Amino acid sequence: MDSREWALIAALLGDAHPSPELKEWLSSSEGRRELAAYRHTMHALQRAYGDAGTPSARAPVFYTAVRAPIGTVWLAATRDGLVRVSFRRRETDFTAELRRRLRKEVVKSAERLRPIAEQMKAYFGGTRSAFDVPVDLSRVTPFQRRVLLATRAVRAGDLASYADIARRIGQPRASRAVGQALGRNPIPIVIPCHRVVASDGSLGGYAGGLAMKKKLLAIEGALSA
């Protein structure tokens, strides 16, 4: 590294004041370009790493409802992404659970949930088969997160077995634990645990009830209704 670059980085980090020579160089077109490139680098770092490991404790959780053929679907998102999908529940039960589990203020807002709500409507309308929204899995265990992320990759119209998911996360003997982790999926439908069935071809279980699992698979064409 040449001494000018060294001095530039030192000044940028606040390790040293810029010398008169550095200041002069920084006013040249090459110097300006370099300074802009380094600033850009530091900003990109800050954006990607600034909030690491610091879940936004005070920011509220927002929720909304979507009307669907399976009844009302409740959606909730933190600043970080979709955090809950729930159906066959009363609004007050849903919000009470959010408050209790997330320890956050709960605020109804169709606006905040608009992207996912629209995708959900399109999904039930048959014009969309996959969701493109960030999910907030910061409250599940690392194992469950691996299971859920592997399950997210099972596409509409396909089925996977519990053993398939266990293999995909590199723990082939963990099918039973996979089943349990999926039973506690906080974001059903978007993380399609309904596409995961038993190895013998039977449907396995579903936290929302087997009839619901059948209905969702029928919507996706993986199962005749």
Partner 1 sequence: MSVSTKRLDSAMSRAPMSFEELVKRYRGEMVAYLVRLLGNRDDAEDACQDALLRAYRAFGRLRAGSNSRAWLYRIATRSALNVSRSRRRRGARRADVEPDTLPAPPALDPAERERRIRVVRAVQALPAKQRAALMQRQFHGLRYDEIGAALECSAEAARANVYHAIKKLRAAFIDSEDVKEGEDAHGQS
| Long-range contact pairs involving 27-35 (C-beta distance under 8 Å, separation at least 24) | 34/5, 34/8, 35/8
Residues 191 and 154 sit within 8 Å (Cβ to Cβ): no
| Position 173 contacts partner 1 (CB under 8 A) | no
Report d(CA 41, CA 91) in Å as an integer.
45
Distance CA 97, CA 90 (A): 11
- Decide if 203 contacts 213 (C-beta within 8 A): yes
Which of 83, 98, 119, 146: binder of partner 1 (CB under 8 A)? 146
- C-alpha 70/C-alpha 28 separation (Å) is 65
Q: How far apart are CA 207 and CA 152, in angstroms?
A: 17
CB of 32 to partner 1, least distance (A): 9
Per rule CB under 8 A, is residue 142 in the interface with partner 1? yes
Q: Would residue 66 show up in a list of annotated catalytic residues for this protein? A: no
Residue number with CB closer to partner 1 (132 or 200): 132
Binding mask 121-140 for partner 1 (x = CB under 8 A): -----------x-xxxxx--
Residue 84's DSSP bridge partners are: 76
Segment contacting partner 1 by CB under 8 A, of 29-37, 94-102, 198-206, 212-220: 29-37
Minimum CB separation of residue 132 from partner 1 in Å reads 7
Residues that bind partner 1 (CB under 8 A): 1-2, 5-6, 9-10, 12-13, 15, 33-34, 36-38, 40-42, 44-45, 47-56, 79-81, 115, 132, 134-138, 142, 145-146, 149, 152, 170
For the annotated catalytic residues, the residue numbers are 193
